[in-house]
Structure 1
Amino acid sequence: MVTILFIFWTLGSIFITLNVFRPLAKRSNSSFQVILFSFVMSWLVGDLLPQWIILNTGIILLFSFSDILNQPLGWAGLIVHLSGWIILMLRLWIILYLPERLEHKMEEQLGVQWNKKYPRPLVPRNILEIDWECWFNPNTVFDDPRIEIIRDQVFYNEAGVQLKLDIYRPLNTKKKHPGILQIHGGAWITGSKRQASFLMTRMAARGWVCFSVSYRFSPDIIFPEHLIDVKRALRWIRNNAEEHGLDPDFIVTTGGSAGGHLAAMMALTQNRVEFQPGFEKMDTSIHGCVPIYGVFNFHDPFENQTPYPAKARVLKMLCGGTPKKQHDRYEQITPANWISGKAPPFLLIQGETDALVSTSETYSFWEALEAHKVPNSAFLSLPLVQHAFDILPSLTAQCIIPTIERYLIMLHENHLYNSGKK
């Protein structure tokens, strides 16, 4: 029995290691459950490698109480596990040098704008500069003495529907600070407004007022109700700007996955009355957008040439049917259809080993932005980076989030200059 368990554990470790570098579940024919399992294992093992090694070391100690490690099979298994750990550590070494690569990419795409001497967030340059405490205990991000966190503020309460948001703000609320509206992911069917706490706490410490909002889920509602909920949050945010020290004239949207889609829609459908029922005259303008591994393509999953059954299943819940039956809604939900010359700047971020969203999907949206010459925009394709990399303060997040910080600071500096405030 011990031998069978040891073999099963070793084979599982091989599968999990390979899955980190290339998700083994195929979007074209895998079920939703299989794709989700592949993503979760790749994300947890890749971004929580120290914890993974500690867990497996404990398992080895348990096996040491048997005689399996005295056999050739046991030694072969140990070599396999150690080799897997070394390969995974090489991935982290590559991630550690990712900020330098991102810097070059941003310089290429933004040029003079990026080279200005904006405050540069610190990034780990070697293993000694990694925030290990934060990596092992994510809750420490909430302990920053420079910020205040207000939980579960109700922003909408009508017809039996109550929606809440969390506020991350600097302690000084007497001056006007730039704002972030953060929208969580979860395939429009689940999720938590605490998903992007790492980015929110860091930006609040830099003097930004951040609002992480909730919205209703499908299948209880269909699009565009999700977007309308987020616009209701923006209405509340602007109406209460003075209380929280927010500059209502500068708010950007951020979000991951489904939240990235909604963030893009917020930026591209500013002041569109069809998405503001009951508050048509409210200002819903947005001044920048950072969709992280956002969802932008809503037709291809149903095509024979590009099937993605798991995604198609979710989209049918989201839109109330297929593109053939709900053509107008699928056109309405597609962000590229709303791009115009008035679109605010975008920073698109996409992992190349994302199990849920393909790089080509984000790149197609980037091409649409380029075609409309949306200013001060950039696209970052990240090698060996998985979906949801920003949820926990792992090394991956510590190496990528500072680029987002600096980009948002750049947009705000441009706003101050163009409005004559600086």
Structure 2
Amino acid sequence: MKPPRGYLNNTFLKWSAMFGRIDLVNTKPEIPHDIESFIDVKFKETEQRSLFLDVYREKGVNNSMPLIIFVHGGSWTKGDKKDYLIYLLSYAQKGYVTASLSYRFSQEEKFPAAVKDIICGIKWLKDNAMEYGIDSNNVAIVGGSAGAHLALMAAYSTGSSFGEESCKSGSASQKVNAVVNFYGPTDLTTDYAINRKETNFFIGSDYKSQPEKYLIASPIHYVTKDDPPTMTFIGTLDELVPLNQTNKLDQSLKNVDVYHDYHILKGWPHTMDAARPVNIYTQHYMDKFFNQFLRD
């Protein structure tokens, strides 16, 4: 499938959006009758607040199914676990168990709190696999923007101290079989990242004060040959995450021979998959990716 035709520049894009010329997906779809949902299941208690997750799966299916976990974006300061409902329901109907996680925001607790929360969510879902019909040996994680950063951190940092937290659960590993990155920042030590107030707020200091924290908060810092297959989507009109962020990830993964299915969509912005043509395109390639790496 060819990428959908994009826009000449951001001015044309903004005019098209202003006049309703972009076909957008329904971000608040109804839950189909053949899908059962488990909403606001608590998976972690923190000093700041309780953390919850949602789970979706087909009704009447007795066998276990691969799990796809979704992590919402929002500059590490906002967002909701229902933001990816269109994906959660779509992939539940395609024969996966899907889940979405909440996590602590920068105004509640600084890095690495959010990373640890996502790791605890992965472990909790694996520990409770039987209850939700999850095949815990076949798990993928998907994130968008700041959520993609957290998903990549969780997927790549299996040898770090982030995963040592007990999470008050069993002994499940944080290891995943595949990760999908929608326009997420990958190197927080670049000029782009260290000069953004969102990054400074997430880390809890400026770069000059604690450069080492920016390094250990960067997914590419953890890239090794043992990392899971990765898929990336980014648009050339992205004004929030520059293309060189995903280019650096691509080169890092190539250097250690980790599979990377890299999609650069010409003429599309940040959160481009809110447009129906892009959403169709991304799901087409995600289907192939998951069939390859989540189906034994």
**TM-score of the superposed pair, with normalisation by structure 1:** 0.63
Give the C-alpha shift of residue 340 in structure 1. Answer: 0.6
Distance 1:138 1:313, change over 3 A: closer
**Aligned-residue CA RMSD in angstroms?**
2.5
1:360 corresponds, among 234, 244, 261, to 244
Query: Which secondary structure state, in structure 1, belongs to the residue aligned with residue 55 of structure 2?
Result: strand
Report the Cα distance in structure 1 between the residues aligned to 2:174 and 2:244, rounded to whole angstroms.
30
1:198 corresponds, among 86, 105, 109, to 86
Report the Cα distance in structure 1 between the residues aligned to 2:99 and 2:188, rounded to whole angstroms.
27
1:300 corresponds, among 181, 190, 199, to 190
Greater shift, 255-264 or 400-409, is seen at: 400-409
1:258 pairs with 2:146? yes
1:180-227 deviation line (CA, Å, top 9, x unaligned): 111110111111111212221111001101111010101321111110
Give the C-alpha shift of residue 160 in structure 1. Answer: 5.2
Report the Cα distance in structure 1 between the residues aligned to 2:206 and 2:132, rounded to whole angstroms.
43
Give the C-alpha shift of residue 253 in structure 1. Answer: 0.7
Name structure 1 gaps, 5 residues minimum. 1-19, 25-37, 54-87, 93-131, 302-306, 417-422
Report the Cα distance in structure 1 between the residues aligned to 2:25 and 2:123, rounded to whole angstroms.
37
Residue aligning to 2:228: 344
Report the Cα distance in structure 2 between the residues aligned to 1:341 and 1:259, rounded to whole angstroms.
23
Instruction: Tell me which amino acid in the other structure corresponds to 2:96.
Output: W
Residue aligning to 2:123: 235
Distance 1:172 1:271, change over 3 A: farther
Give the C-alpha shift of residue 289 in structure 1. Answer: 0.4
**TM-score of the superposed pair, with normalisation by structure 2:** 0.88
Q: Does structure 1 conserve the Cα–Cα contact (< 8 Å) formed by 2:187 and 2:215?
A: no
Give the C-alpha shift of residue 277 in structure 1. Answer: 1.8
Residue aligning to 1:5: none
Give the C-alpha shift of residue 158 in structure 1. Answer: 4.3
Instruction: Tell me which amino acid in the other structure corresponds to 2:62.
Output: K
Higher strand proportion: 2
Task: For 1:239-388, list aligned pairs within 5 A.
Answer: 239-270=127-158, 272-279=160-167, 281-301=171-191, 312-375=196-259, 377-388=260-271
Higher helix proportion: 1
Q: Figure out how many residues of one structure are paired with residues of the other and give that number.
A: 289
Task: For 1:2-401, list aligned pairs within 5 A.
Answer: 21-23=8-10, 42=14, 46=16, 52-53=19-20, 135=24, 137-139=26-28, 141-159=29-47, 161-270=49-158, 272-279=160-167, 281-301=171-191, 312-375=196-259, 377-390=260-273, 392=274, 394-401=276-283
Give the C-alpha shift of residue 405 in structure 1. Answer: 2.1
1:303-324 deviation line (CA, Å, top 9, x unaligned): xxxx578x52111111111222
Report the Cα distance in structure 2 between the residues aligned to 1:151 and 1:281, rounded to whole angstroms.
24
Report the Cα distance in structure 1 between the residues aligned to 2:206 and 2:48, rounded to whole angstroms.
29
- Identical aligned pairs, as a percentage? 23
Distance 1:252 1:219, change over 3 A: same
